[in-house]
Amino acid sequence: MTDDTLRELFDLIESRKAELPDDSYTTRLFTHEKGQNYVLEKLGEETTETILAAKDDDGEELAAESADLVYHLLVLLSMQELDLDDLLEELERR
CA distance 57 to 62: 8
Q: Please, are residues 81 and 13 in contact by the beta-carbon 8 Å criterion? A: no
Global pTM reads 0.92
**Could you list the mean pLDDT of each consecutive 10-residue stretch along the chain, which spans 94 residues?**
84 98 96 96 98 98 98 98 95 95
According to the model, what pLDDT value does residue 64 have? 98
According to the model, what pLDDT value does residue 16 have? 98
CA distance 11 to 55: 32
- Whether domain 3-93 has CATH 3.30.70.980: the reply is no
CA distance 14 to 10: 6
Give the start-to-end residue ranges of the domains of the chain.
Answer: 3-93
According to the model, what pLDDT value does residue 58 have? 96
CA distance 20 to 87: 24
* Amino acid letter, residue 68: D
